[in-house]
Structure 1
């Protein structure tokens, strides 16, 4: 059986290779997920600790594993069709569970379930989900940090993510959102909850408490920076000290988890803290004897995996339907009183975005109004190439998102749709951004809906083309944001109807 299982494992890695390489790339490039390298090692260590139970549980295969394997293969193909790699990565975990069922049945899966579940914490969330969490945590941490500073009798003013201390404006940027603590701490909370020799409700509460602990301690970190700046100057807000404070806060989060365990014990059996953390004693169930090779479920799993790998290759090579369109370079540079000066992105930026066609231009009119118009078209959004959410790119450019909402817009022809309305700030500069997705005849603001339609259209229509449209205007000194809203909507009346020939329905 070992040979069959190893062969199945190799076929699995081959079929899921694209999603696995993207997973490692996220671990390497995003500090929030750098702990991902350790999680598979911890899972292997847990399996090694259970090796006797694994041997005792190895028995007759469960043919339901083949059904689960078909489901995982279907999810794999959906992920490859839509370039939603989280589907591929979760399908990989389902595939592992299916192979375990095929190898040794439900008794074996029971013993391996927790090490498998731990691997969930190694899978990054999609970029657009990360960005949503990041800016919301920035706002929440800013508000709590300001409340702490005011409690310490420090005069402070909060505007969005900017904390004004009078002598210094402290910007709570993406790196201060707390996600760098939250994701590793969730993994640790899950593992410590498993090791905790306590009632189930205490284990669950310990795990869930990692979220408020992270938010509270990150807010305390922001407040601490504010106190240091107030007392010793702006040099306290940057450099090594800032990162060193981050490590201290993370260790403090771990200390709070230990304090929570101590509190449980004070209210219960009063055991020493170190004695309540131990590996549970997992035993096998003496599973039934496995059948011969010719009747083993793994012999049927191999062709399913081979078919999945071949199908993934075919999906990658399948030609999508592409409709005729005018290039965006032909988009008019004069729209009545608006006249544009076109520009180009840097070559490195173009390459990283992976777009097929784009236009970026500053439109001006005689009264000094400016609207930056950016349209990026993707002929195919497979293989991980899709529009970058402005919620990801805006913080990367040094801007802070101080407000995000949906804005309804009605065109002159009576068509109504919603756009994302984003208020951003960098220092004293303020801007208003509208953006939405033109996706195969739909105008979509919700990024979750955009991914859903991408999935269904890739399957049903063999199309995954689409575009990101972004309009940006500076908010002038003493100008109300509502005036900037009207400026963008005036520009949309002239520009949006002209997109149809460039972004096909």
Structure 2
């Protein structure tokens, strides 16, 4: 670390000043690690999933990038007066971490950990030097799990794009194929492009690699940007190739051959292919490089003298800013002990199994409908109910689906905007509306109204998120209220309500909506017993 005075101890020995500096650095680090432990636990849990299994490598690579950058900035023997911006950053990190701990959203605590790393570097080296170490700090972002709402939106989008490109490639090779959502129909069999086939498990490590590639690349900024952003199309393309090859194998050799192919191509084969394409793109970029270097010359791979930088730890000084950083960590730990453990009280609710089978003039048709094990696992709800209600023989039925989560801090509600397209339904229209006037209510009743279609079938959909006493139409707003409620009261429960009705040929939207409005009006009365509003 940078010093504020010279060392007078014999070579190889630590001075008392260095010992004191290392002591306060250790106190600051241990206190922060203890405070952010929930976020670190969340990282370890996320790293056990295929999408984030690359996570443990990210801190190692970031550390190597830091040591490499450190070579460019020799120790400063004089006093360092610009350490205090780092203290402000550390204070921000503890504030964000506290919000994450209060809301019980451990991912936020993990994000705050990276802010703390940036702050401690600024405290150690001062603003003028520490600000140059942003590349390795920013690289740590690649070890973090995406927020659930973003993960499912990105995953679904990549599934759709990969499916469409894969089917396009199959058609180029004269393979008869039809795509319905994420289901590839080969005629003799149907292949489902599952979430695991979205390409996310390749995208995240490739993004990390392309980031390092862009940092090491010596060239214009626009070329660095191209190399960084190219990770997404390269990954999607290779994933589509994998899907297309899988379709060919399934079509000509059968599904039993496809399983072995999938296992073979799920791991390093796709990753290495993406890396080769990335190097190929870099080689192509050299034609536009003003210096016309070779690829070896364009990549700064000089790692000499990197490990000797570790010895600069003994230059750490017990500066007032470093001591303040340690005190802030201890204070944050002490303050957290004052927060009661029982802030969150499990909601009192009636199970959906007791939900009435009559809602006004609507009656449940047949028994409750159960989801398939795979869908139920993906839904991950603590309780759900799916049933069909009818009014009379002439009126099309209305489907009712409700899901409840005791704790949404580790996942939570999946928006139908994500789930419906993956099952083959195309969203023709989606708008957020307030149906309070139609229901004769004074309080707002916001929800999403959608028209979806599959072939010649059309369906109208109502859905909304129930977050405490709020009905919320926008999924991002629901997550915001989840965060706010978690901070304010510790409550993180919530639910989803969805109503659907088929639209006959020639039927107007107004007629279909009248059914959903009537069903919603009858549903509003008993619903709070099953999805609490307090």
TM-score band (shorter)?
0.7 to 0.9
Of structures 1 and 2, the larger Rg is shown by: 2
CA distance in 2, matches of 1:101, 1:116: 11
CA distance in 2, matches of 1:280, 1:88: 35
From 28, 32, 38, the equivalent of 1:12 is: 32
From 127, 136, 141, the equivalent of 1:120 is: 141
CA distance in 2, matches of 1:275, 1:486: 69
For residues 241 and 330 of structure 1, do their structure 2 counterparts lie closer, same or farther at Cα, with a shift above 3 Å needed?
closer
CA distance in 1, matches of 2:449, 2:157: 15
From 357, 361, 368, the equivalent of 1:333 is: 357
Q: CA RMSD in A?
A: 4.2
Alignment of 1:372-387 (within 5 A): 372-376=400-404, 378=406, 384-385=409-410, 387=412
CA distance in 1, matches of 2:76, 2:233: 39
User: Please, which runs of 5 or more residues in structure 1 have no aligned partner?
Assistant: none
Q: Which residue of 2 aligns with 1:449?
A: 477
From 436, 443, 448, the equivalent of 1:419 is: 448
1:362 aligns to 2:362 (yes or no): no
What's the secondary structure of 2:301's corresponding residue? coil
Comparing 207-216 with 8-17, greater Cα deviation is found at 207-216
CA distance in 2, matches of 1:265, 1:308: 50
Aligned-pair CA distance for 1:76: 1.0
1:400 aligns to 2:423 (yes or no): yes
What's the secondary structure of 1:35's corresponding residue? coil
1:202 aligns to 2:223 (yes or no): yes
Q: Which residue of 2 aligns with 1:389?
A: 414
Alignment of 1:96-135 (within 5 A): 96-110=117-131, 112-135=133-156
Paired residues, number: 487
Q: Which residue of 2 aligns with 1:24?
A: 44
What's the secondary structure of 1:310's corresponding residue? helix
Q: Which residue of 1 aligns with 2:190?
A: 169
CA distance in 2, matches of 1:423, 1:495: 22
For residues 264 and 344 of structure 1, do their structure 2 counterparts lie closer, same or farther at Cα, with a shift above 3 Å needed?
closer
* CA shift digits 1:482-505 (9 cap, x unpaired): 798776554323213432455225
For residues 321 and 430 of structure 1, do their structure 2 counterparts lie closer, same or farther at Cα, with a shift above 3 Å needed?
same
Alignment of 1:69-218 (within 5 A): 69-110=90-131, 112-218=133-239
Aligned-pair CA distance for 1:81: 2.2
1:279 aligns to 2:301 (yes or no): yes
For residues 180 and 470 of structure 1, do their structure 2 counterparts lie closer, same or farther at Cα, with a shift above 3 Å needed?
same
Q: Which residue of 1 aligns with 2:263?
A: 243
Q: Which residue of 2 aligns with 1:44?
A: 63
What's the secondary structure of 2:187's corresponding residue? coil
Aligned-pair CA distance for 1:44: 2.3
For residues 244 and 359 of structure 1, do their structure 2 counterparts lie closer, same or farther at Cα, with a shift above 3 Å needed?
closer
Comparing 368-377 with 126-135, greater Cα deviation is found at 368-377
What's the secondary structure of 1:158's corresponding residue? strand
Comparing 401-410 with 157-166, greater Cα deviation is found at 401-410
CA distance in 1, matches of 2:203, 2:507: 37
Q: Which residue of 1 aligns with 2:14?
A: none
